Structure 1
Amino acid sequence: MSKVTEVVEELAAPLIQELGLELVEIEYVKEGKSWFLRVYIDKENGVDIEDCGLVSERLSEKLDEIDPIPHNYFLEVSSPGAERPLKKDKDFQMAIGKNVVIKTYEPIDGEKNFEGTLLEFNGQTLKIEVKIKTRKKSIEIPYEKVANARLAVIFS
């Protein structure tokens, strides 16, 4: 995590929690010539524009006071969306029974990309059910081999 995201997390986490929301992720990225500070928030039934606006306003005030970023940037506060990233243990616990996409650092059973239903997560291993042609198969993935994971939207 970069120094900027660490400082922003220290400022944002208590403010967001105070509002009954969850801090999902913070990104600080350069796109073209512009810098973006993106703060993703969520709550049980999803966030709305008012939640995002309130967090943006309060966080902006805090950032102006401390001024941890030496150049101009755009602050964006939004929902993580339907394909929410899974970063923390509690994210994986919440995703049990849901469709997920998991990418690993190294191949497992010859594959690095998996999509299926997350069946179990015990803090050390993820067990997912994937569909291979017409049959289903359970695969265990060691947690430390997960490069990234997210919820997946299924279109029927």
Structure 2
Amino acid sequence: MKDNFNVETKVADLLNPTLKVMGYRLVRVRMAGSQNKTMQVMAERVDEVNMTVEDCALISREVSNILDVANPVEDAYSLEISSPGIDRPLVCPSDYDRYSGFDAKIEMVNTINGQKRFKGQLLGMKNNLVRICIEEGTAELPFEDIRRAKLTLSDEMFLVATKSAEG
């Protein structure tokens, strides 16, 4: 697992500058599988327009070229390019402000007030704390202690995604 994290970090560092110049933001790099490895590269457009198949193909060509030269992974792997989708992961502080008002699931590294998992409506960031409205009130979660977080499908999210897809 730690080896995957090191590879993912190295690959993200390699890809970020090129994707940024191309007008994309790297959302996540993830290595999956043990026998048949897959490198999943998730990106989005910085102009917040929905990703197209052409965007993914363009990114795939550039990423393939970069990885062929740098060769950060010793074993054979398949490359998979995708966009975040409706239940996107939340990976940087700006995501929590951008998706304030939407439902999310957050899993913490450490227990906070007796729990590690939180589900509720995002209220944005304040002083490096992710604020989320849960059943018991408002929880403030240290950003650096978040293991993983993602939006959850809700009626509101579905309506926003549908309107966005229609243009």
Gaps of at least 5 residues in structure 1 are none
What is the CA distance between 1:51 and its match in structure 2?
0.7
Superposed CA RMSD: 2.1
For 2:134 and 2:106, locate their aligned partners in 1 and report how far apart those are by CA, in whole Å.
11
1:103 aligns with 2:107: yes
Highest CA radius of gyration, 1 or 2?
1
CA pair 144-70 structure 1, distance change in 2 beyond 3 A:
closer
For 1:119 and 1:35, locate their aligned partners in 2 and report how far apart those are by CA, in whole Å.
37
Name the SS of the counterpart of 1:86 in structure 2.
coil
Kept in 1, the 8 Å contact 2:93–2:143? The answer is no
Partner letter of residue 123 of structure 2? L
Cα-to-partner distance string for 1:112-152 (whole Å, 9 max, x where unaligned)? 222111113124222211246xxxx2222233432221111
Q: TM-score, normalised by structure 1?
A: 0.83
Kept in 2, the 8 Å contact 1:120–1:126? The answer is yes
1:84 aligns with 2:88: yes
Cα-to-partner distance string for 1:32-83 (whole Å, 9 max, x where unaligned)? 5111111100121221111111110111122222323222110111012211
- Report what 1:117 is aligned to: 121
Paired-residue identity, %: 29
- Report what 2:8 is aligned to: 5
Instruction: Find runs of 4+ consecutive structure 1 residues off by over 4 angstroms.
Output: none
Kept in 2, the 8 Å contact 1:89–1:123? The answer is no
Partner letter of residue 107 of structure 2? K
What is the count of residue pairs matched by the alignment? Answer: 151
Partner letter of residue 54 of structure 1? L
Gaps of at least 5 residues in structure 2 are 157-167
Kept in 2, the 8 Å contact 1:123–1:143? The answer is no
